[in-house]
Structures are given as structure tokens and as C-alpha cells.
Amino acid sequence: MRIQQFRAPVIGAFLLLVLTGCDQFTDSRPVQNSAIVEPKVTISVAAASDLKYVLEEIITEFRQAHPEIAVKPTYGSSGSFYSQLLNKAPFDVFLSADVAYPQQLIDQGLAISESLIVYAMGRIVLWVRNDCPVDVEREGIASLRSASIKKIAIANPQHAPYGKAAEAALYHFDIYEEVEDRIVFGENIAQAAQFVESGAADIGIIAVSLTIADALREKGRQWPFPKDSYPPLEQGGVIMSTTQERGACEAFLKFLGSDVCRDILKRYAFSYPGEMTLDGPVAP
């Protein structure tokens, strides 16, 4: 009889301990899962290819500030995106390498006029691989006259703002006709850079933002074009009229003007209207 009286409290205490432990274990799991915020909306961004590396960093920072919004970028030439957007391509935001294409979309009623921003100013440089015998840093534009330069890569000026800038710079230095038969065109500025990196071209006129990225930083040397040798590359962004996620798009474009975003853009040698004063070497 004593044994039964002794066992009952022990068994009760044991069951209480087990049940309490189970409750604590199961309660802790939802707390851990609640820290992971799944995005509620996704916005698709048509982005100029000079943004290929910098935009990935910007998106990472944006997700920290807005975990409920996912950003899906697609890279290409601004002119090609413009043609696609004329045909109602399903993009929410357009980040062009110039401001002209977004403005044209606004003029045609395809983009929201009050959303237009100039988010950065781009730059072009003459870039060669490290194994190139030409001293591009010393010779500058004269490098293009070297007998060892067989092919010169630029983006296609028909639809790439960086290609138009490259062409303008060649005319500025009165060298276009001398080198015209050696020019090879990339579909966009990223492809022009790839031509030089791979050896398909000996030298290229490319976006400085690409040369600063890890993919190219240690692989080549460069000479920056003076800012007055080509039209300003005012890079513009706009929200498309067909978007179903205007609020999320506005949050993203607002973030492009934040101090955090500007610091990232400046690390890739982008500047802002009135700030483009660098003609010398580009800091890594």
C-alpha cells in the first residue's frame, strides 16, 4: 500500500516533466521559422547590362530592408528592352543605360511619368587584358592605332547607349574612320566586355562598372575616356504602366536613391548629375 502511494506522485511528476518538455520543444520551432520572411510579391526588372554586377549587391541590400519583396532582374541592351516593352513585355521596372528610352515609353503612355528617375551617371573606359602588349594606361586612345590591335569591341550603337557613347568618343578623337573596319559589335556592353576577356577582341570600349567587378578587376588594364568626349550617360529608371505591383516598384526605385544604394553605385564608379568630374584613373 505504501509502494502504491509512493509511485503515484513519481509517475505524475514524470508525466508532467515529459509533457512540459514536449511543449517547450514544439513551441521553439515556430519561433525559428518566423524569422524567415518569404517574399509576398516579386517584381521583374529589365536592366541594362552595365548593371550586371552592381545590381546584384543592390538587390541583396534591398531584400534586407524589404524582405517581403523579391526582385528578379533580366540583363540586356536598353534598346532591345525598349522594343520588347513597346510590345508589352511583362516587366514591372525598366532600368535603362540612358534616360531617353524610359522617357519615350512615358511619351507613348506605356510607363508612369511620375516614376521617372535618373539613378546614376555611367562612364566608359578603354580596356585590355593584362597579356596585351599595348600600354593602354600610357598611350590612351592612341592604343587603337597599334598594329597588335586587330579587333576592337564595343556594344552595338543601334540599341546600346554604351555603344553610342563609344562611337561618339571615337569620332571625338577623330579616329573612327581609321579603326572602323576593326570594330566588332557586342549585343550589349556586357557581351563587348566578354569579347575582350575571352580574347575574341584585343581591346574594348566598355562600361567602367564591369571592370571594377570581381569578374574583371584583376584581369586587365584601362584608360578612362575624358567626360567631354562622349554624351553624358544619364541612366534612367521607370515603372511600367502595366505593373500589378506598383507599391513594390515604388519602394525599389526609392531605394535606388538611398544612401546605401548610392554608396554601392559609387564603388562601381557611377556618379550623379553634376558629380561626374573624374577623368583620371578609376579606383578599384
Same domain, 107 and 127: no
112 with 210, same domain: the answer is no
Q: What is the pLDDT, as a whole number, of residue 76?
A: 97
SS3 content of the chain, % helix, strand, coil (to 5): 50, 20, 30
Is there a domain that residue 56 lies in? Answer: yes
Tens of pLDDT along the chain (284 residues) come to 444 443 444 444 443 433 444 333 333 333 333 356 788 999 999 999 999 999 999 999 999 999 999 999 999 999 999 999 999 999 999 999 999 999 999 999 999 999 999 999 999 999 999 999 999 999 999 999 999 999 999 999 999 999 999 999 999 999 999 999 999 999 999 999 999 999 999 999 999 999 999 889 899 999 999 999 999 999 999 999 999 999 999 999 999 999 999 999 999 999 987 654 444 444 44
- Could you give the CA distance from residue 50 to residue 53 in angstroms, rounded to a whole number? 8
| Same domain, yes or no: 211 and 140 | yes
State how far the Cα of 227 lies from the Cα of 169, in Å rounded to an integer: 10
In this structure, are residues 249 and 115 in contact, taking their beta carbons and an 8 Å threshold?
Answer: yes
Task: Provide the residue count of the chain.
Answer: 284
The four Cα atoms 265, 271, 277, 283 give a dihedral, to 10 degrees, of 10
Q: Is the distance from CB of 72 to CB of 184 less than 8 angstroms? A: no
pLDDT at 215: 85
List Cα–Cα distances, 6 to 1, 3, 16, 50, in angstroms. Answer: 9, 5, 16, 79
**Of 128, 135, 188, which is closest to residue 162 (Cα–Cα)?**
188
DSSP labels, 21-54: HHHHHHHHHHHHHTTS---SEEEEEEEEGGGTTH
pLDDT for position 277: 43
Give dist(CA 188, CA 80) in Å, integer: 9
The verdict on 92 and 56 lying in the same domain is yes
DSSP tag of 19: H
**83 with 70, same domain?**
yes
Cα–Cα distance, 120 to 273 (Å, whole number): 8
Do 175 and 95 share a structural domain?
A: no
Contacts of 24 (CB under 8 A, 6+ apart): none
Q: Say if residues 235 and 103 touch (Cβ distance below 8 Å).
A: no
pTM: 0.83
pLDDT at 36: 64
CA distance 170 to 173: 5
* pLDDT at residue number 3: 40
Range of the domain at 87: 41-121+233-267
CATH number of the domain bearing residue 169: 3.40.190.10
Strand partners, 235: 120
**pLDDT at site 39:** 87
Q: How many CB atoms lie within 10 A of CB 204?
A: 32
Residues 58 and 87 both lie in one domain: yes
- In the chain, the amino acid numbered 30 is P
The whole-angstrom separation of Cα 188 and Cα 122 is 15
- The pLDDT score that the predictor gives to residue 283 is 46
Query: What is the distance between the alpha carbons of residues 31 and 204, in angstroms, rounded to a whole number?
Result: 53
- How much is the pLDDT for 38? 86
Note whether 103 and 150 are same-domain residues: no
Per the domain annotation, does 28 fall within a domain? no
Does one domain contain both 159 and 215? Answer: yes
**What's the domain count of the chain?**
2
